[in-house]
Amino acid sequence: MKLGYPCMNYTIGCKISTFKLQSFSEERLVDSITTNLNNLEKILLYNKENGFGFLRVSSDLIPFASHSIMNIDWSKKFKDHFEKIGDIIKENNFRISFHPGQFVLINSPKIDIFEATVRELEYHVKMLDLMNLDTTAKIQIHVGGVYGDMEAAKSRFIDRYHSLNQKIKNHLVIENDEKSFSLQDCLDIHSETNIPIIFDNLHHEVKNNGETLTEAMQLVQPTWTSKDGVPMVDYSSQQENSVAGKHCDTIDLTHFEGYLSEILNQFDVDIMFEIKDKELSALQALKLI
């Protein structure tokens, strides 16, 4: 069981460097990428020292990577740095995931949105390739929109998924969401595609078909094969006095203890803490375990 947190580390002050499109220049791009890769290295070192084996890497490592403005071969320029980071990941047996943004929509009825999605996924695969990571490193996305017809939305996802190149399919996984696509909807898609499912407990609490945590995990676990590695899960709990599904600002240890007691000794999972204060909550969880 590896624990992780997303993208940034407040303790060591590692945030994402980016800039606005109107400020795009080669110098600005190189500065941001250099900062981001250096910070990624620092976060990995911090994780080694603090017992974290899982990390979500920011999709903004390369600003505007899949935008038409991008005319710089960043992969050539930063090949060595990515390779070095990949070596650190492999030497320490770290688990890595990406979670690209809400604009990645495999099942959009609009073909240009799908094409932009493919470009964005290709960018993520390129980073994984530069780091020489295997198929246990994952790119996690939501199924997408419903567009007024759930069955059509699902079957469009399935058809579009089949049309993706194998390199993308090697890393792509879907997550149950709190509004549209429940665990059961993800399982329907899995049965036609074999795509692994990331189980998000908070989304499941908001939208489900009555499955307990144990039942949900029993359904999710077989969607991950040996080439995919142990299942990744997202963990969070509800922020009080906010809309259902809002991630909490800091970990609710009582809630997590209940979650853990049901998971532990039953399932091997790598847990991503989707909690606003990141490594601070993840440290508390680590201490509890």
Is residue 65 within 8 Å of 123, Cβ to Cβ?
A: yes
Tell whether residue 56 is a contact of DNA (CB under 7 A).
yes
Helices (H), the chain: 26-50, 74-77, 79-91, 111-130, 150-163, 166-169, 183-193, 201-206, 213-220, 253-263, 279-288
Tell whether residue 270 is a contact of DNA (CB under 7 A).
no
Q: Tell me the closest approach of the beta carbon of residue 222 to DNA, in angstroms.
A: 23
Is residue 272 within 8 Å of 6, Cβ to Cβ?
A: yes
Q: Show the site string, 97-116: x = touches DNA by CB under 7 A, - = not.
A: --xxxxx-x--xxx--x--x
Question: How many residues line the site for DNA (CB under 7 A)?
Answer: 49
Q: Tell me the closest approach of the beta carbon of residue 235 to DNA, in angstroms.
A: 11
Is residue 195 within 8 Å of 166, Cβ to Cβ?
A: no
Residue 191 to residue 188: CA distance in whole angstroms? 5
Tell whether residue 86 is a contact of DNA (CB under 7 A).
no
Q: Show the site string, 146-185: x = touches DNA by CB under 7 A, - = not.
A: xx---------------------------x-x-xx-----
Question: Is 100 or 231 the residue whose CB approaches DNA more closely?
Answer: 100
Residues in 199-238 at the binding interface with DNA, rule: CB under 7 A:
none
Q: Which stretch binds DNA (CB under 7 A): 126-134, 160-168, 225-233, 242-250?
A: 242-250
In order, the DSSP letters of 178-222 are: SSS--HHHHHHHHHHH---EEEEHHHHHHS-SS--HHHHHHHHGG
* Residue selected from 40, 44, 54, 64 as contacting DNA according to rule CB under 7 A: 64
Residues in 117-146 at the binding interface with DNA, rule: CB under 7 A:
120, 142, 144-146
Residues in 15-34 at the binding interface with DNA, rule: CB under 7 A:
15-23
Residue 133 to residue 87: CA distance in whole angstroms? 9
Question: Is 23 or 225 the residue whose CB approaches DNA more closely?
Answer: 23
Contacts of 181 (CB under 8 A, 6+ apart): 142, 143, 144, 146, 154, 174, 189
* Residue selected from 2, 43, 54, 66 as contacting DNA according to rule CB under 7 A: 66
Q: Which stretch binds DNA (CB under 7 A): 6-14, 81-89, 126-134, 261-269?
A: 6-14
* Residue selected from 48, 84, 126, 247 as contacting DNA according to rule CB under 7 A: 247
Q: Which stretch binds DNA (CB under 7 A): 52-60, 83-91, 163-171, 210-218?
A: 52-60
* Placement of tokens 């246990």 in the chain: 136
Residue 70 to residue 278: CA distance in whole angstroms? 31
Residue 58 to residue 80: CA distance in whole angstroms? 19
Chain residues binding DNA by CB under 7 A are 6-8, 15-23, 56, 58-60, 64-67, 99-103, 105, 108-110, 113, 116, 120, 142, 144-147, 175, 177, 179-180, 242-247, 274, 276
